């Protein structure tokens, strides 16, 4: 069949529609047939997941025209929870959030990177000029040139300096995917570099789970889940057995949306409907508090451990803790008790003592302690913000200690983070599906370990680059931890290994999600780093500093296989979602411009370097999907062809279901935790052996430790306000910051027309500084300064300022770190000094600042 | 069939899924004959606004989704000079016909000004007025409006008017601004009003006195209302008179009664804080 002129002009109109304002791919016009045109014009429904939950996207004329919640077919059996005379069942649909509903606007944003780009002045071989890195002066190059440059540099750097001179920096969460997205990040890219001869690992060190991994896990294990205890069947347990839910320093309604959207929001409504009391302990009336809390207890952020100690004081002195449980299930209660009652240091940790520290009334602390002891209580705290400040591990250990004293694992006495690592809803535990962190691991046949032992830590990457040698202890070597890791010593560079000369990067946002942006940027502004390569969707801060920019496509532009909300490594199931949904993540649209999937990009490098067969084992995208399909439970339910055709499959909830509530086994057996004793270690011999009894930053028992430069220190005379930097509501880390539909919901337009990132400030603090609602304010400390829009509110504790991190960083001069940031990126204010001597991890909360009305001058 | 809508403000999680879902439904997508495409940034056919009342540490947030009220007597129809440009469908959905809406007649944008809730928007680019269509194109397909479908919290109850009115009555919902006499078809639970609230606590614990009887009496008129505290000891009186002075009496079995005289409602959300009851002495 030949293409008539008429068909051709139709094709032109269809394709211009497909690509919108973008130029179409180089050869597309030549290959299209009338049959294909018809196919493009048809309206299709494609079932996918986004980082904002499960959606069905409607595709017409080759464009996504909208995304709706993914529906659950009427004939699929759902779970039911019977509790207190009520029956709770989830809605028959997924519950995507504003990120999921705004996805279309994001992927079609005109700011997408469309072509491979080269920085003006960059030359292969480290011969170019470097003083304009960051100024974002790029020229378009072809894919062939880009591949030549990257592979040429990889080869040269390896031959000149050795493999250790190459590092690979992952992103801060990517678009969704198992073989793509984070799957590529965790598996394909490291595999590629390892086949080449290895690389210096850039260890991310956690920035979200900080205090949990470094604290709670020494008490009760759960290393593999980043120290959030198992969560299965806790939802039913709480609804049926808990008398109260305490939300501590957590805002799950706002923050717990990653990869599933609002799947858990109904659960918190059910808590209320079941007649369970709720309390929020937080510096702000956060969204969860607005809709779900009976009482708000305002607290100074970073001082929560003092309140927890005082609650234990009440229980111990009034005898209202579970004495039998403590005897049989724990070690070290006497030592903890000695600290709490003051036998150890002469200071009884009374509610009056705590009041002076955390500014919660002693009466309230006593009242809450008694209320807590009066019946089974769910403690909703895991992964929350209080773990990311000074000595965040002390607060997490206190949280475990609190529930331990009330019999952790008993019906209704549990710890949850519903929706993060641990889930909570009933689910079929026999289902096995890969998640984003497993990537292709289940089906690759040959493994390539990294022969280079040298590492760099994300916390002090700029120190490594600019001021080597750097030594540190602990941190992390990956996405999960184990106890010994905290005691390993590292140095950079290692004897016999080169410093890093070339950086391979994925994604463009990480720089703003980690501490001390200004120092972090300094590490890019040096000729010591000869080449920086990045795969990116958008021109974002990390992209600006690259030498070669490669256009990556989004998850709507490639095929994949996944399970809704399933992280694989630390979210081994979809317990955080209401339904277990396997998705053949069908490509909705063609890649924008000349963009490609990250896997395709690394495949191109591999072809050029002659290692394609090793990297791919002969697998195309489709082959990996098929192999993962047959390695998963889904193949027992539907054929591959059916799965691919329909696009998704919802596993029916089992007819006969035996709940196994989290930690009930431990309650019954009093043994088997992943600690040296198998019990909950209120006193940690491991920590005692390493740090001794008297280390001021970490003790064998959890303690309140005064923050080093907190509000009660001399530092506060200069910077009296505590800034409380939380996970963002209107973007996913830094992603979707450019979505106009979301920006309009929260950005504050200044008199100059610029959209400022809002900062919450209390009425009292605003009045004291002559600040009114909508004023532009400067927030500053020794680390940096930014401009924000003042949102004056009674919802926040006086003395505290709140911002979301991840706003686009817009410094006056990108080559001069420390210049005024008009974007309001809160991490310009944070320090890369670690959490403590024990936890070499990011400390991005509870920083002291001052705020003043901005009059247009520094 | 006539539609009506019940919005429970108390359930709203302030997640803005409704507002973004509306954008996703309408930006770049026209649904003739009911709607032309919505501009990328301007216009909120549904807008979620947060109203904050009270003083630290007792603060109350009212997240209120505002959309076209699809009135029985739409002021916009009265204001519109072009016959048939704004009309009510047989389902009593108020529609601005994007073809008939003629700005040549309307340099003063009478419908935009005529809507007392400000939910009609003028599109500078296409020269037409636009607003919420209750997703009539979805209703025809048997789907819910996009914003309701997106809500994870069950804020919106939508259906046949007589069914909704039953719920309205049962749950004490009311329309916004009945004084406009427009006959809005959207009813709200939990709109802001002059409120008096408090926590009742015992000597022992923080939330240990449910079911206390709380009565408030307005000093001037002597009119009294009462309620019981909830499981956590909270009580709330809404729709009170601004500036009025009340006395508050708390009674609970086993505790000494407590009276607080002269509570002046000087702010819209007045919270009395923790009212501690003392145990009754045994005789």
pLDDT given at position A31: 58
A275 vs B: CB within 8 A: yes
Q: What is the mean pLDDT of residues B262-275?
A: 96
Which of A254, A265, A798 minimises the CB distance to B153? A265
Hey, how many other C-beta atoms are within 10 angstroms of the C-beta on A580? 25
At residue A34, the pLDDT reads 81
Q: Answer whether A84 touches B (CB < 8 Å).
A: no
- Looking up tokens 């609602």 gives A773
Q: Do B23 and A287 touch (CB under 8 A)?
A: no
Instruction: Transcribe A633-660 into DSSP letters.
Output: GGGGTS-HHHHHHH-EEEPPPPSS----
Q: Does A135 touch chain B (CB under 8 A)?
A: no
Domain A211-426+661-691 in CATH 3.40.228.10? The answer is yes
B154 CA: distance to closest CA in chain A (Å) = 8
Q: How far apart are CA B144 and CA B159, in angstroms?
A: 9
Q: Does A375 touch chain B (CB under 8 A)?
A: no
Max Cα-Cα span within chain A: 93
Chain B CB contacts of A105 under 8 Å are 23-24, 27, 40
Q: What average pLDDT score do residues B136-151 get? A: 96
Where b means 16+ CB within 10 Å and e means fewer, A499-516 reads bbbbbbbbbbbbbbbbbb
**Residue A434: per-residue pLDDT:** 86
Which residue among A262, A797, A798 places its CB closest to the CB of B152?
A262
Residues 708-747 of A with CB under 8 A from B: 730, 740-742, 744-745
Cβ A261–B24 below 8 Å, yes or no? no
The CATH code that applies to domain A715-853 is 2.40.40.20
- Ranges of residues in chain A with a pLDDT under 70 are 1-32, 419-422, 476-481, 568-575, 857-858
Angle between helix A234-241 and A265-273 (nearest 10): 20
Chain B residue nearest residue A60, CA to CA: B29
Specify the fold of B195-276.
Immunoglobulin-like (2.60.40)
If you measure CA to CA, which chain A residue comes closest to B54? A794
CB neighbours of residue A774 within 10 Å: 15
Residue numbers of A between 791 and 820 with CB closer than 8 Å to B: 793-798
Interchain CB contact of A104 with B (< 8 Å): yes
At A685 the pLDDT is: 96
Q: What is the pLDDT of residue B74?
A: 97
CA distances from A755 to A747, A774, A776 (A): 6, 11, 10
Q: Do A253 and B55 count as a contact with CB atoms less than 8 A apart?
A: no
- Return the DSSP state at A163: G
Q: Are strands A244-248 and A277-282 parallel, antiparallel or unpaired?
A: parallel
**Cα gap A602→A611, rounded to integer Å:** 11
Size of chain B, expressed as the number of residues it contains? 283
Identity of the residue in A98, A265, A370 whose CB atom sits nearest the CB atom of B20 = A98
Residue A13's pLDDT is what? 38
| Nearest chain B residue to A103, by CA | B24
A745:B16 CB<8 A: yes
- The answer for residues whose C-beta is within 8 angstroms of residue A128's C-beta and 6 or more apart is A119, A121, A122, A547
Chain A / chain B CB contacts < 8 angstroms = 150
Q: Where are the domains of chain B?
A: 3-189, 195-276
The residue to which tokens 């799950």 are assigned: A252
What pLDDT band is residue B208 in, cutting at 50, 70 and 90? confident
Give the CATH architecture of domain B3-189: 2-Layer Sandwich (3.30)
Q: Do A287 and B15 touch (CB under 8 A)?
A: yes
- What pLDDT does residue A573 have? 58
Chain A residues touching B52 at Cβ < 8 A: 793-795
Residue in A712, A672, A857 with CA at minimum distance from that of residue A776: A857
ipTM: 0.97
Per-residue pLDDT of A642-652, as tens digits, reads 999 999 999 99
The confidence score (pLDDT) of residue A477 equals 54
Rounded percentage of chain A residues whose pLDDT exceeds 70: 94
Q: Which two tokens stand for residue A329?
A: 């299930």
Contacts B55 to A, Cβ<8 Å: 763, 794
> Token digits for A337?
């008790």
Give the SS3 label for residue B195. strand
Q: For residue A575, what pLDDT is reported? A: 64
Subunit contact A285:B14, Cβ cutoff 8 A: no
For residue B163, pLDDT beyond 50: yes
Domain boundaries, chain A: 211-426+661-691, 715-853
């Amino acid at each position: 069949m030949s293409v008539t002129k008429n068909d051709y002009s139709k094709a032109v109109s269809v394709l211009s529609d497909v690509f919108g304002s973008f130029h179409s791919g180089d050869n597309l016009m030549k290959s299209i047939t009338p049959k294909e045109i018809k196919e493009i014009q048809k309206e299709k429904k494609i079932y996918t997941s986004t980082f904002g939950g499960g959606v069905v996207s409607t595709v017409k004329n080759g464009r996504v025209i909208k995304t709706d919640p993914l529906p659950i077919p009427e004939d699929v059996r759902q779970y039911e929870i019977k509790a207190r005379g009520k029956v709770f069942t989830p809605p028959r649909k997924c519950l995507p959030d504003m990120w999921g509903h705004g996805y279309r606007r994001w992927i079609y944003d005109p700011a997408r990177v469309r072509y491979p780009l080269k920085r003006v002045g960059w030359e292969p071989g480290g011969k170019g000029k470097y003083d304009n890195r960051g100024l974002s002066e790029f020229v378009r190059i072809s894919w062939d040139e880009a591949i030549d440059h990257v592979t040429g540099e990889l080869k040269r750097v390896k031959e000149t300096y050795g493999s250790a001179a190459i590092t690979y920096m992952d992103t801060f969460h990517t678009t969704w995917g198992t073989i793509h997205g984070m799957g590529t990040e965790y598996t394909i890219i490291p595999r590629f570099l390892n086949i080449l001869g290895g690389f210096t690992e850039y260890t991310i060190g956690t920035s979200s789970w900080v205090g949990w991994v470094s604290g709670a896990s020494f008490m009760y294990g759960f290393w593999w889940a980043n120290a959030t205890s198992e969560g299965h069947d806790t939802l039913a347990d709480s609804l049926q057995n808990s008398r109260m839910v305490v939300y501590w320093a957590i805002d799950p309604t706002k923050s717990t949306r990653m990869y599933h959207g609002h799947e858990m929001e109904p659960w918190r409504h059910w808590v209320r409907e079941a007649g369970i009391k709720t309390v929020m302990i937080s510096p702000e009336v956060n969204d969860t508090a607005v809709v779900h809390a009976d009482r708000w207890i305002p607290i100074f952020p970073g001082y929560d451990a003092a309140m927890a100690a005082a609650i234990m004081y009440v229980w111990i002195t009034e005898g209202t803790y579970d004495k039998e449980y403590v005897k049989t299930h724990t070690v070290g209660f006497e030592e903890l008790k000695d600290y709490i009652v003051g036998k150890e240091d002469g200071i009884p940790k009374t509610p009056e003592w705590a009041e002076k520290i955390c500014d919660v009334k002693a009466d309230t602390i006593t009242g809450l302690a008694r209320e807590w002891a009066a019946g089974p209580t769910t403690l909703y705290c895991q992964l929350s913000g209080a773990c990311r400040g000074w000595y965040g591990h002390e607060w997490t250990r206190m949280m475990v200690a609190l529930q331990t004293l009330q019999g952790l694992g008993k019906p209704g006495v549990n710890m949850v983070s519903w929706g993060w690592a641990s889930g909570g809803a009933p689910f079929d535990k026999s289902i096995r599906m890969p998640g984003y962190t497993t990537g292709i691991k289940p089906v690759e046949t040959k493994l390539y370990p990294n022969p280079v032992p040298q590492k760099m830590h994300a916390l002090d990457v700029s120190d490594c680059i600019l001021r080597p040698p750097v030594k540190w202890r602990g941190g992390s070597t990956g996405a999960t931890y184990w106890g010994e890791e905290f005691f390993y010593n590292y140095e950079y560079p290692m004897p016999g290994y080169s410093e890093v000369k070339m950086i391979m990067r994925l994604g463009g946002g990480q720089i703003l999600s980690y501490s001390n942006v200004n120092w972090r940027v300094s590490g890019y502004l040096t000729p010591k780093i000869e080449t920086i390569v990045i795969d990116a969707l958008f021109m974002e801060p990390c992209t600006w500093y690259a030498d070669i920019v490669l256009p990556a496509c989004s998850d709507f532009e490639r095929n994949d296989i996944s399970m809704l909300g399933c992280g694989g490594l630390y979210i081994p199931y979809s317990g955080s979602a209401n339904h277990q949904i396997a998705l053949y993540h069908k490509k909705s649209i063609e890649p924008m411009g000349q963009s490609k999937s990250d896997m395709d990009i690394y495949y191109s490098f591999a072809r050029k370097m002659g290692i394609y067969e090793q990297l791919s084992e002969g697998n195309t995208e489709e082959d990996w999907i098929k192999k993962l399909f047959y390695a998963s439970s889904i193949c027992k339910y539907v054929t591959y062809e059916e799965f691919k055709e329909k696009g998704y499959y919802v596993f029916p909830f089992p007819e006969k279901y035996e709940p196994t509530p989290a930690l009930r086994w431990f309650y019954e057996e009093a043994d088997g935790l992943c600690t040296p004793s198998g019990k909950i270690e209120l006193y940690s011999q491991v920590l005692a052996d390493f740090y001794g009894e008297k280390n001021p930053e970490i003790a064998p028992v959890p303690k309140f430790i005064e923050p080093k430069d907190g509000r009660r220190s001399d530092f506060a005379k200069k910077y009296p306000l505590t800034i409380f930097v939380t996970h963002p509501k209107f973007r996913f880390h830094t992603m979707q910051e450019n979505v106009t539909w979301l920006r309009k919901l929260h950005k504050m337009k200044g008199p100059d027309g610029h959209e400022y990132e809002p900062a919450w400030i209390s009425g009292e603090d605003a009045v004291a500084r002559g600040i009114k609602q909508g004023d532009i304010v400067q927030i500053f400390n020794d680390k940096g300064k930014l401009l924000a829009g003042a949102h004056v509110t009674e919802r926040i504790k006086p003395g505290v300022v709140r911002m979301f991190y991840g706003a686009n960083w817009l410094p006056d001069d990108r080559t001069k770190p420390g210049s005024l940031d008009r974007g309001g990126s809160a991490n310009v204010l944070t320090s890369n000094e670690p959490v403590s001597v024990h936890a070499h991890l990011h400390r991005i909360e509870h920083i002291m600042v001052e705020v003043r009305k901005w009059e247009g001058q520094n | 069939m006539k539609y009506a809508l019940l919005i429970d403000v108390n359930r709203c999680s302030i997640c803005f899924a409704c507002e973004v879902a509306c954008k996703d439904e309408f930006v770049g997508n026209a649904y003739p004959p009911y709607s032309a495409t919505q501009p990328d940034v301007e216009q909120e056919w549904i807008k979620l606004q947060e109203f904050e009342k009270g003083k630290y540490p007792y603060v109350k947030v009212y997240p209120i989704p505002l959309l076209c009220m699809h009135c029985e007597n739409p002021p916009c129809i009265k204001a519109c000079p072009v016959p048939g440009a704004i009309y009510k469908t047989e389902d009593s959905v108020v529609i601005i016909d994007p073809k008939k809406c003629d700005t040549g007649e309307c340099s003063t944008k009478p419908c935009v000004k005529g809507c007392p809730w400000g939910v009609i928007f003028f599109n500078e680019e296409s020269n037409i007025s636009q607003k919420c269509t209750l997703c009539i194109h979805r209703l025809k397909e048997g789907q819910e409006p996009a914003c309701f479908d997106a809500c994870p919290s069950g804020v919106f109850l939508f259906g046949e008017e007589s069914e909704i009115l039953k719920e309205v009555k049962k749950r004490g919902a009311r329309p916004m601004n009945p004084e406009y006499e427009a006959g809005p078809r959207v009813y709200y639970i939990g709109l802001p009003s002059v409120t008096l609230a408090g926590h009742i606590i015992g000597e022992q614990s923080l939330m240990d006195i449910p079911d206390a009887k709380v009565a408030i009496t307005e000093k001037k008129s002597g009119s009294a209302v009462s309620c019981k505290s909830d499981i956590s000891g909270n009580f709330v009186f809404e729709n009170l008179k601004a500036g009025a002075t009340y006395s508050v009496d708390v009674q609970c079995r086993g505790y000494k009664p407590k009276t607080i005289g002269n509570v002046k409602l000087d702010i819209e959300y007045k919270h009395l804080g923790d009212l501690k009851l003392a145990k009754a002495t045994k005789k």
